[in-house]
Amino acid sequence: MSTVNIIKIFLILIFTISNGVLAQGYQLPDSVPLEKIISDSEEILGLPDIPINVQEDIFRINAVEMEWDVGGAVFTPQDERRIPIGPDGKKVGVFLIHGGSGDHRAMEPVARLLSEKFGFKVVTFSYPGRIYLHSKDRRWPGDTIHEDGSVRTPIWSTETEITRNQYDIVEDESIAIKYGKLTLACAKENTEMYNRMAGWEVAFEVGGKEMMKRNLPADEYSIYIHGHSTGGPFSFMLSQRVENIKGVIGMDNSPFGYIFRVQTRASGNPTGKQYGDLPFNCLHIRTWRDVARYVGPEALLMEGGESLMYLPNLIDRVFARWERNKHLANFKAEGPIHFGSVHQLANAARATAKRLELNFEETETLVAQYINYSRELRGVNVKPVPPVIFGIAQASADHTYEKYQQVTLPMFAAMDPPPRVSIIQFMAGTHGYTSSGPDLPMGPFPAVAKTWRDAILGGYFMVEENR
């Protein structure tokens, strides 16, 4: 063994011991009280900033015989020697996927903190079609629904144009009890929009893998992946398909789609219909209603029933938040994977197979590929689901400690092999976990980030390799 390798092993051992843990013995807290969240936040935000470089990385891929422009941004310490080395001897890389309304810019505060305070190399990634390719600032102009009856639609490649004649506008009230009236842009068969709506699932897999290969190569980095909310199922999907993803770090992140489907049903959805059951070719055009379905439950959980006594104030909050966030994409096609809708995933796969003129066996293989995006892979020579951390904010309507205990944990335990899974309840914050609050300028996230850092460097994610 070379002197360099001996020194590396020695330094890793010293670091691990200095953090007060050994890899297999590292334990996470079950909950973090408000006082601890505030003190951890002050500690992390008080750390000196590490100078970083931020660079956009947008590139072209081919998936299902179509060209797609995908990407995100990369946050790297200017002095790359400051990137921490984990217990496995690899540099620490983090891959971030945004939630249902946004694009990769929504994860910038998370990425900056992880890179500037800890030195991690961080990569953010957008779902296909979410990046506004026609402006350098990537801000979507105007509102999502236009006066002429057209709506905001994805930009899957710089030359792609989705014209008004490619879709019908449908007002859907089948799940109005939770979502209110939905505005859907339903693509007509044999149009560019229809083909893209049937093929973006594969483009996400191809693009996400390529983004990591370009910026977090397996010979240098171990990757810890996080997807906020809708991004959660996509982070789990990639976790078994990318060699050097060592763990899932979560905060208000949904689990695999088929698990979230059960978890959501357990919340008492009276219609029995799931959001993911909307037709795969129908794009949900978001409005102020998608803000309201968070503001209402958050007010109830944080302020109690008396918040309804101040309904005008709640309404003002809804519209103010909507105005602040209209520059994000605010459309969504990801429901079938997010909610594990097997029949809609199968429909999308068959539409793609028909366009590609696949035979029966090839079609069924593609159908299985699409359905497997919503569940863990099983079988011989399949990478197991890596260790997982679920973090839950205090006032999160869709992500509650009880649901995760009753539904999520048992379903993860039934996997073969079952991964190591921990749930941490943070007694502050909302689903948008970087939103500011009293004594918490970035919400509970700095405390969450400290937990992630300690788990990564303390060896929590080494359990998989020591089975």
Contact 265, 257 (CB under 8 A): no
Compute the distance between CA of residue 358 and CA of residue 3 in angstroms, rounded to an integer. 56
Note down the domain range covering 238.
15-466
Is 2 within the bounds of a domain?
no
HSE-up of 38 (CA within 13 Å, CB side)? 6
Is 5 within the bounds of a domain?
no
Is 1 within the bounds of a domain?
no
Per-residue pLDDT averaged across 345-350, rounded?
98
- Cα dihedral 225, 208, 204, 385 sign: negative
pTM of the model as a whole:
0.91
Cis peptide before 33 (omega within 30 of 0): no
Higher pLDDT, 271 or 369: 369
Instruction: Give pLDDT, residue 401.
Output: 86
Tally the domains of the chain.
1
Range with the poorest average pLDDT among 3-12, 65-74, 86-95, 370-379:
3-12
Q: For residue 220, how far is the Cα from the chain centroid? A: 24
Count helices and strands in the chain by DSSP H and E runs: 15, 14
CATH of the domain at 279: 3.40.50.1820
Q: For residue 143, how far is the Cα from the chain centroid? A: 24
pLDDT tens digits along 200-254? 999 999 999 999 999 999 999 999 999 999 999 999 999 999 999 999 999 999 9
Range with the poorest average pLDDT among 61-75, 110-124, 257-271, 392-406:
257-271
pLDDT tens digits along 131-177? 999 999 999 999 999 999 999 999 999 999 999 999 999 998 888 77
**What are 224's strand-pairing partners?**
94, 247
Compute the distance between CA of residue 262 and CA of residue 341 in angstroms, rounded to an integer. 11
What average pLDDT does the chain have? 91
Token look-up 């939630």 returns: 99
Is 396 within the bounds of a domain?
yes
Structure tokens at 465: 């390799």
3-state secondary structure of 432: coil
pLDDT at 78 over 70: yes
Per-residue pLDDT averaged across 377-384, rounded?
95
User: Which residues make Cβ contacts (< 8 Å) with residue 382, sequence separation at least 6?
Assistant: 240
How many angstroms separate the Cα of 244 from the Cα of each of 178, 251, 382, 423? 39, 21, 14, 23
CA-atom Rg of the chain in angstroms: 22
Is 10 within the bounds of a domain?
no
Is 4 within the bounds of a domain?
no
Is 6 within the bounds of a domain?
no
Is 294 within the bounds of a domain?
yes
Instruction: Give pLDDT, residue 271.
Output: 55
